[in-house]
Amino acid sequence: MADGYVYRSYADLQSLGQRVVDKAAEVVLWQDNSYSQAQQGSIDDYAKSQTPGMATSNPHYLAPTSGSPEDNANVQAYVREALADVPSYFTAFSIPDPDSINESLTSPLYRTAGTLIPSLRLTRKAGGQLSTETLAGADSQDETVGQLVDYVTTIRMKYWTGDAADNFSGYCSALTHAAGLQHQYATTLAEVMDAHLELRRRQLTDVWTIGENTIKTLDSLDQWCMNRKKGTQTVLTVVGAIAAVVVVAVAPESLPAGAAMAAESIQSLGAILGTVPDQKDERFEIAGATVQAVIQSMTEAIQKLHDRIDYQEQLLANALGALRNAVNGRRSKLLITPPGKFTSLADADITTLRNVFHSY
């Protein structure tokens, strides 16, 4: 999970965007270069609005109903009109809280994997080292399907011989193989879902950081140092969303290395992607010598965030496609149908069973 993650609602993001607008409108009034640009824009768009068929530079421009376009009140109104879309830049990232979805989406998949191969511990890499987090929960404390099958076939079936015994033993062997594949499928699907939720957490963190840093940069503009370009270092964490959730399967000491994995495997998310995207954060600066330049820098940062999210989501979509193809190619080995001769006797009494098995 992203460090310092705090859920931001639609109302929170709307409020943040409005704070950016309010701060920009405030700073324009006392930052000379910013005011000059806004005043000239107001004058130019007023002239355009008086010419039929000519579009104004500010798409939300409304000609003043009183006074001249260069008047202070009209300039301030012009600035707010120019920034009318800013709150929507932030609310575009509004989503339900990923943490509220996690328990119903990814946890059951990890627990399913932990049920199929309970003694296989699922952990994550943290700073290059294995973490102590066990994603499968309490379900990871019992025996694997393979161990239970081995107990049935070597102990409980010790004195059972013949065709029926051979057929049942073959079914059990196929079931062990299927459990391994199902475990890998559940784990990889959980990884993809988990990565998408982590991406959503980080997009909320990043867009909030962009807004707050824009306000800081605007606040730092000094009317006595008009030509000095102010800037605030900003970090995009979405670029490491996938790398942060890649699962590592650790075989317990009681099993040989890799024993819990089926011979014909379904690849993990990291293996599907080939190389997991770099987890390093991306740094850039929100900067400018005027309010207009700072807002432009903010807009570019938000577009960069959209681009990074799109790229990560495309990676996850590719992984889901590869996982679907892998499952389709192994469907007969993932879902094992018990022999008909056994299922037809599921409700038989002891006399019938004895007669049937004596006939083998």
Between 187 and 11, residue with greater pLDDT? 11
Between 170 and 323, residue with greater pLDDT? 323
Q: What's residue 262's pLDDT? A: 42
Query: Whole-prediction pTM value?
Result: 0.79
CB 99 within 8 A of CB 7: yes
Q: What's residue 80's pLDDT? A: 95
pLDDT in tens, 8-53: 999 999 999 999 999 999 999 989 999 999 999 999 999 999 998 8
Instruction: Calculate what percentage of the chain has a pLDDT beyond 90.
Output: 37
SS (H, E, C) the chain: CCCCCCCCCHHHHHHHHHHHHHHHHHHHHHCHHHHHHHHHHHHHHHHHHCCCCCCCCCCCCCCCCCCCCCCHHHHHHHHHHHCCCHHHHHHCCCCCCHHHHHHHHCHHHHHHHHHHCCCCEEEEEECCEECCCCCCHHHHHCCCHHHHHHHHHHHHCCCCCCHHHHHHHHHHHHHHHHHHHHHHHHHHHHHHHHHHHHHHHHHHHHHHHHHHHHHHHHHHCCCCCCCCCEEEEEEECHHHCCHHHCEEEECCCCCCCCCCCCCCCCCCHHHHHCCCCCCCCEEEEEEECCHHHHHHHHHHHHHHHHHHHHHHHHHHHHHHHHHHHHHHHCHHHHCCCCCHHHHCCCCCCHHHHHHHHHCC
Q: What tokens does 196 get?
A: 């998408």
**Residue 195 predicted with pLDDT over 60:** yes
Provide mean pLDDT across the span 183-194. 84
pLDDT in tens, 267-320: 777 778 776 666 567 888 999 999 999 999 999 999 999 999 999 999 899 888
CB 323 within 8 A of CB 189: yes
**Residue 253 predicted with pLDDT over 50:** no
pLDDT in tens, 305-342: 999 999 999 989 988 888 888 888 777 777 777 766 66
Per-domain boundaries in the chain: 10-358
CB 82 within 8 A of CB 24: no
- What mean pLDDT is reported for the chain? 80
